[in-house]
């Protein structure tokens, strides 16, 4: 079974631009979560989507948004990019159909560099 895939793997943008990252979960997985990882802050939770609805949200500004499609694929968008948004953005998916099925599996990440 294919793992979580993320595109693109690397991205370079300039301040003020916006960016859209894509995540395809493991087949059959219904929950998709997004995380930001930086050397200074570590791995931080952004938001989680389940059945096309945002179910959980971390402490990030409104510039960070996401959505999930009916096939469970998800996108996250960052508008008005700032230098501090440079990070590894990770997507994780889980089956989430009951007890013992919420183990999250991560994709390889998208490395975003903001100049």
Find the distance separating the first CA and the last CA of the chain, reported in whole Å: 37
Stretch of residues binding another protein (CB under 8 A), selected from 11-19, 38-46, 67-75, 79-87: 38-46
Which positions from 54 through 73 interact with another protein, judged by CB under 8 A? Answer: 55-56, 58
100 binding another protein? (CB under 8 A): yes
Nearest Cα residue to 110 out of 4, 1, 6: 6
Ramachandran bin of 44, using left for φ above 0, alpha for ψ from -120 to 50, beta for the remaining angles: beta
Nearer to another protein, 73 or 111 (CB): 111
Stretch of residues binding another protein (CB under 8 A), selected from 11-19, 61-69, 74-82, 88-96: 88-96
25 binding another protein? (CB under 8 A): no
Helix (H, G, I), strand (E, B) or coil at 84: helix
Nearer to another protein, 55 or 80 (CB): 55
85 binding another protein? (CB under 8 A): no
Helix (H, G, I), strand (E, B) or coil at 85: helix
Helices (H) and strands (E) in the chain, counts: 0, 11
């Amino acid at each position: 079974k294919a793992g979580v895939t993320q595109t693109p793997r690397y991205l370079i943008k300039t301040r003020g631009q916006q960016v859209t990252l894509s995540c395809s979960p493991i087949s059959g997985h219904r929950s998709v979560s997004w995380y930001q990882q930086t050397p200074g802050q570590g791995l931080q939770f952004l938001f989680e989507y389940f059945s096309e609805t945002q179910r959980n949200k971390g402490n990030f500004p409104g510039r960070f948004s996401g959505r999930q499609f009916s096939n469970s694929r998800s996108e996250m968008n960052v508008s008005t990019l700032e230098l501090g948004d440079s990070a590894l953005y990770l997507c994780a998916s889980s089956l989430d159909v009951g007890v013992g099925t919420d183990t999250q599996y991560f994709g390889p990440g998208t490395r975003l560099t903001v100049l």
